[in-house]
Amino acid sequence: MLTVDKNANAQRAPGPNEQLLGDLDFCQFLRKPIGHAIRPLMFWGPKVHLLPAKPIDQLAGSVPSISLNQLLDKHKLSSARRRVLAYILARSVWQYYDSDWMRVKWTAESIHFMKEEPSNSKEQDKESDITAPYFALQVPTQQAYITDEHIRGDSFIHHYPRIITLGILMIEVCRGDSKAYPDSNAESIEMRMNNEYARYRKISMSRDWPYLDFKLHSSKEAYKKVVQRCFDLEIFKDALTIRERRAGVFKEVIYPLQKLLVDMKLLDGLGNVEPFGSEDEGAEIQVSGPPQCRQRATRGKRSSFPDSL
């Protein structure tokens, strides 16, 4: 759990159960294994406060995490689960839009999922929990690291890389073929951003996309419209500050997507993810894709869904 105070000049004395961390202590803390527990950090201006440990609701298994790419390649996710995953990722991007967590580009390789630990020795291994993604932070390269939320320069088609990242993630989740969208071997940030914008915008405008099973054509069009807004050059036309643009992300992407999933009975009225019912267990559905890559998907077991990263 991470709590961030936006006032960089704020001062606050540590509470009775809090520890104030220096730069060296902070690095040592990050390297120290603490087992199945949460150590909340509070960033109060330039100071880092370490709070007491708390229990966690879900125990991660002692196996390596898998990336979003691996999840989409190796696991047959139902259309409903993919839509839920797209919503969770979109909510996470909006939640952290104006924070330093978005300085490193979020990709299908940096977003990871972990398996839950079985409750007892007789219980079978659980699948990776698609509703609890984690961000695998690595030392960024020039290609991955973007310092500004708003990039200026006439060489860029779209000047807001974080909203493009959101659109890309929502397309990746609903892709029909894991080989369909190769990484760009770009020689500069301008080249990479422009190539990604052109490629993924074209996908979002395709008549057949998204390659998922929607019962109603209107639902498919509603999802497509939400994703297309991420590539709209006018989406932040009247937003002068990062806070206004974050509010725009909610208005243009999160709210309409949440409304769509509420209408589809995948979210409750508060935006919390509903557990799948028995109709989602063991049944096969058709995940539609491009003509050359149609595939079948088997729906997974019932699980509960937190909705934050």
**How much is the pLDDT for 1?**
35
pTM here is 0.71
Each residue's pLDDT tens digit, 120-134: 555 455 566 667 777
Give the Cα separation of 19 and 13 in Å (integer). 10
Give the Cα separation of 268 and 263 in Å (integer). 9
Residue with tokens 């994703």: 227
Q: What one-character-per-residue DSSP string does 82-127 give?
A: HHHHHHHHHHHHHHTTTSGGGSBPP-TTTEEE-BBPPSSTTSPPPP
Strand 284-287 relative to strand 295-298, pairing: antiparallel
Give Cα separations from 226 to 142, 166, 297 (angstroms): 30, 11, 24
Q: Which of 175, 6, 8, 11 is nearest to 82 (CA)?
A: 175
**How much is the pLDDT for 156?**
92
Whether the CB-CB separation of 95 and 309 falls below 8 Å is answered with: yes
CA dihedral over 77, 80, 84, 89, signed as positive or negative: positive
**How much is the pLDDT for 294?**
29
CB-based burial label for 271 (10 Å; 0-12, 13-18, 19+): middle
Strand 134-135 relative to strand 47-50, pairing: unpaired
Give the Cα separation of 184 and 205 in Å (integer). 20
Q: What is the set of domains in the chain, with CATH numbers?
A: 2-50 (no CATH), 66-298 (1.10.510)
Q: Which of 50, 58, 65 is nearest to 14 (CA)?
A: 50
CA atoms within 13 A of residue 36's CA, in its CB half-sphere: 10
| pLDDT lower than 50: segments of the chain | 1-9, 123, 178-180, 278-309
The verdict on whether omega for the bond into residue 210 sits within 30 degrees of 0, i.e. cis, is: yes
**How much is the pLDDT for 106?**
87
Each residue's pLDDT tens digit, 151-205: 988 999 999 999 999 999 999 998 765 444 555 577 888 888 899 999 999 999 9
**How much is the pLDDT for 90?**
94
